[in-house]
């Protein structure tokens, strides 16, 4: 029994393994690698002007990653293109929305999802992303979407220059994370 103050609530939970923000963004990058013919990856969810390197092997450490290419010893160069429309399209490919066509009791991947009653609360990366983007005061869907797209279109140098201290580690992912959250909740 789960008891809060007052009547016993009905609680539903389901773990969508590999669909947490970190794993989803790793899967997205792995999909971009597999669609590429070389070691230069153009990432639509990273700001234009962003450029970084990472070990190819790091993308395939998770059980959520697709099959690894044969040579994992190489490094990738990732360049941002700052294209939120292409980012959303790439993110949608991570989901199987068609398995729920016509069903209101299904979120994605054919998994049962009861209707949300009352308020929906999100935490962890949902909160951190929306807090960074100043979207924690119950914005409208169109307002949240506009803010995230506007942020995604900013050049990397401007994003770096205006970032609060201590955000360096996560800064490149806030665009992808914001669009991922909207895709997950709206689609």
Name which of 1-15, 26-40, 134-148, 151-165 the model is least confident about.
1-15
Give the pLDDT score at 5. Answer: 76
What pLDDT does 70 receive? 66
Residue 9 contacts residue 2 (beta carbons within 8 Å) = yes
Distance between CA 87 and CA 128 in Å, rounded? Answer: 20
Please choose, from the candidates 173, 182, 111, the residue with its C-alpha nearest in 3D space to the C-alpha of residue 147: 182
The per-residue pLDDT for 3 is 66
Measured distance CA(154)–CA(173) in Å, rounded: 13
Q: How many CA atoms lie within 13 A of 159 on its CB side?
A: 25
Give pLDDT, residue 187.
81
Split at pLDDT 50, 70, 90, the class of 92 is very high
Per-domain residue ranges for the chain? Answer: 21-186
101-148 residue pLDDT tens: 888 888 787 788 888 777 766 678 888 999 999 998 888 999 999 999
Question: Could you tell me the pLDDT band of residue 167, with boundaries at 50, 70 and 90?
Answer: confident
How far apart CA 131 and CA 126 sit, in angstroms, is 8
Which homologous superfamily is 21-186 in?
A: Exopolyphosphatase. Domain 2 (3.30.420.150)
The rounded mean pLDDT for the chain is 88
pLDDT over 90 at 63, yes or no: no
pLDDT digits 0-9 by tens, 26-36: 999 999 998 98
Higher pLDDT, 97 or 131: 131
Q: What is the pLDDT of residue 38?
A: 87
């Amino acid at each position: 029994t789960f008891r809060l103050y007052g009547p016993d609530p009905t609680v539903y939970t389901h773990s969508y393994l590999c669909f947490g923000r970190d794993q989803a963004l790793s899967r997205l990058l792995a999909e971009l690698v597999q669609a590429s013919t070389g070691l230069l990856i153009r990432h639509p969810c990273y700001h234009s002007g962003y450029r970084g390197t990472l070990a190819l092997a790091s993308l395939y450490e998770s059980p959520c990653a697709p099959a690894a290419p044969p040579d994992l010893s190489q490094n990738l160069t990732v360049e941002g293109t700052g294209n939120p429309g292409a980012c959303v399209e790439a993110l949608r490919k991570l989901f199987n929305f068609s398995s729920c066509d016509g069903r209101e009791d299904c979120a994605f991947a054919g998994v049962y999802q009861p209707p949300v009653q009352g308020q929906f609360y999100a935490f962890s990366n949902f909160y951190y992303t929306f807090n960074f983007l100043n979207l924690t005061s119950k914005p409208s869907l169109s307002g949240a979407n506009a803010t995230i797209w506007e942020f995604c279109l900013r050049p990397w140098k401007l994003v770096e220059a205006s970032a609060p201290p201590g955000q360096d580690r996560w800064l490149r992912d806030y665009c992808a994370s914001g669009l991922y959250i909207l895709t997950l909740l709206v689609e």
